[in-house]
Amino acid sequence: MNSSSQATRIVVTGGAGYIGSHVVLALGEAGYDVLTYDNLSTGNRDAILSGELVVGDLADKDLLVKTLTEFKPAAVMHFAASIEVGESVVDPLKYYRNNSVNALNLLEALRVTGTGQMIFSSTAAVYGNPAQLPVTENTPLQPINPYGASKMMTERFLDDLAQANADFRYVALRYFNVAGADPETRLGQDYANPTHLITRALKTALGVFSRLQVFGTDYPTQDGTCIRDYIHVADLAQAHLDALRYLSTGAQSAVFNCGYGHGFSVRDVVAMAKEVTGIDFPVVETGRREGDPAELVAGCEKIHRELGWQPRFDDLKVILRTAWDWEKKLVARGG
């Protein structure tokens, strides 16, 4: 039996991944007792800088129930998911199984063990190609790829469970484009084949990739490339702690956008990456990538008002600089 107070015990699924590991670190620094549950398929054991690790898959309901029963957390934060939009279009069943079916397994385990609070890692991809910008939490959900659809289904699971069970409450955080790295360079994105624009741009600057591809220059935007709302991963981690405190007050289930409320085009990001690195790396413009909306910018008044969230890194140059410091550290250690 864990000796810490139940109120401070948190289980984090997918806590060895990029965003999850930053949240695990923030939880540990805030005094929480954290258990990471991760199958390490894309996560890194070394990225878990606080608490303990159980290596397990969300498909293993028996291990899930055993872990929750023994640890007795006050809440679960659920990050474990497949996240690549392009791959979801090519292999949709993988996304529905990993993101929707496995989320259902987790919710069944929560019900069996009486775990009454969950914070869910959702996505702006649930909005699809919205008719109006910025998008608010009330914007209709019309995902245009299986990744967004799989996350939307899990949000529906959560809402239906909360409606049916007064003892269960949740917060779904709809992330916009998460980027950057821990400002102290303890953590960052560390995937074998990253697809995120900022990471690929910086790795191209380092020579890991021979060129950076820009997918689509004919979108109905100012410069023809996609526009995204980039949020620093450390600010996003803070939003999870704010959501945890929100639920601890007995507040009702809720959904919040996580972004800064303004966007940058692909060309804006490429130009800033060249400025931050001081390297004029090769860029090749090519056709659109299936499943990409033209523009996604968050309406984020609700998260400020109801969670009291106060971001500290709302600056594209700062986002890129922290990510660049991390990439250079990976090179220095041979990663």
Give the residue range(s) of CATH 3.90.25.10 domains in the chain. 197-228+261-329
User: Does 8-179+230-258 carry CATH code 3.40.50.720?
Assistant: yes
103-129 residue pLDDT tens:
999 999 999 999 999 999 999 999 998
- Confidence tier at 290 by pLDDT (50, 70, 90): confident
pLDDT, one tens digit per residue, over 202-224 is: 999 999 999 999 999 999 999 99
Q: Where are the alpha helices (DSSP H) in the chain?
A: 18-29, 61-71, 85-90, 92-95, 102-113, 146-164, 197-205, 233-248, 266-277, 301-307, 316-332
pLDDT higher than 80, residue 332: yes
Query: 47-51, 191-195, 234-238: lowest mean pLDDT where?
Result: 191-195
Comma-separated ranges of CATH 3.40.50.720 domains in the chain: 8-179+230-258
User: 233 near 260, Cβ under 8 Å?
Assistant: no
What was the pLDDT predicted at 334?
Answer: 73
Q: What is the DSSP letter of 286?
A: E
Give me the active site residues, please: 147
pTM: 0.95
Alpha-carbon distance of 256 to 263, in angstroms, equals: 18
Confidence of residue 173 (pLDDT cuts 50, 70, 90): very high
- Give the tens place of pLDDT for each residue, 248-257: 999 999 999 9
**In angstroms, rounded to a whole number, what is the distance separating the alpha carbons of residues 172 and 175?**
9
- The string over 170-194, giving b where at least 16 C-beta atoms fall within 10 Å of a residue's C-beta and e elsewhere, is bbbbbbbbbbbbbbeeebbbbeeeb
- Could you tell me if 284 and 213 are in contact, meaning their C-beta atoms sit under 8 angstroms apart? yes
- pLDDT-derived band at 14, boundaries 50, 70, 90: very high
Average pLDDT of the chain is 95
Largest CA distance in the chain: 58
Please give the Cα distance from 4 to 66 (Å, whole number).
18
Q: Are the beta carbons of 103 and 37 closer than 8 angstroms?
A: no
User: pLDDT grade, residue 1 (50/70/90)?
Assistant: very low
In the predicted model, is pLDDT for residue 335 greater than 60? no
Distance CA 268, CA 317 (A): 11
Architecture of domain 197-228+261-329: Alpha-Beta Complex (3.90)
pLDDT of res. 2: 52
